Amino acid sequence: MSQRFPDVQGGGSLIVAWQVKGKNILVVGGGEVAAGRILHSLNADAKVTVVCPKSGLNDEVAFRVAQQQISHVDRCFEPHDLDGADMVLSAVDDPATSSRIWQFCKERQLPANIADIPSECDFYFGSMYRDGPLQVMVSTNGNGPKMASIVRKKIADTLPQNTGAAIVNVGKLRKKLRDVAPDISEGPKRMKWISNICELWTLEELVKMSDEDMDLVPTFYDANIVPSFDDIHAKSDASNFTSQ
């Protein structure tokens, strides 16, 4: 075959955006690593329970307990703590305890991450950059967390500061377009049309898109026309002139 397909590169991870909103995440431990895991989980709107003696909580975890952002079990881990959990994040310094938690999770088929033991992880935490709805994760597949942080910072430095705002506006526009063309069969056309808008408009134009602009853009959809930012404002000016 003349067509060339991508080469398979084994040894990677399947990087996905795991939706845990409303799910129960159990965090074992209360130190710095646990604090990072907790923040990631709360940012994803999960329900978090921390199992750790009160004396082992660092300032950040103690603050989240005091603010009732998370539930706290003031003792060391016990197997029944896994009851009702959808995911387990272990962040304790005791390797024997960590491996024991991993075995309990395997018996219950619970997805788990055991800090600092890559071989006992169903998934890894990468270095995360966040700007509103934009999330960029860099993973080294457990080989070098510090390197992931360095690469993430370099990527973040190349992104315009208003990228998140542009994405928010595109999300709003997608919802308006679904109202104009709600039929499921329109899905591929909608996706292609929105993609063309994103490619045609500059980031600055996407950020500047007003609610009025968002109402006008979908009016070009039925004609299968991808309007430029100037087209939208020309139509807006004409509409305003007519209404005067």
Residue 16 domain flag? no
Judge whether 116 counts as a catalytic residue.
yes
pLDDT band for position 241 (cuts 50, 70, 90): very low
Same domain, 225 and 200: yes
Say what the pLDDT of residue 244 is: 47
CATH number, domain of 134, equals: 3.30.160
Q: Under DSSP, is residue 127 helix (H, G, I), strand (E, B) or coil?
A: strand
Neighbours of 113 (CB within 10 A): 21
In this structure, are 84 and 116 located in the same domain?
yes
User: Does one domain contain both 213 and 151?
Assistant: no
The verdict on 141 and 92 lying in the same domain is: no
108 and 197 within one domain:
no
Range of the domain at 233: 163-243
Catalytic residue among 74, 86, 116, 122: 116
Per-residue model confidence (pLDDT) at position 122: 94
Residue pLDDT, tens place only, 11-70: 888 888 899 999 999 999 999 999 999 999 999 999 999 999 999 999 999 999 999 999
pTM for this prediction: 0.79
Considering the domain boundaries, does residue 17 fall inside one? Answer: no
Q: CA–CA distance from 108 to each of 102, 116, 144 (Å)? A: 10, 22, 29
How many structural domains does the chain have? 3
CA 139 to each of CA 25, 66, 91, 127, 149: distance values in angstroms, whole numbers, following the listed order: 21, 32, 18, 7, 9
**Tally of CB atoms within 10 A around 232:** 22
pLDDT at 15: 86
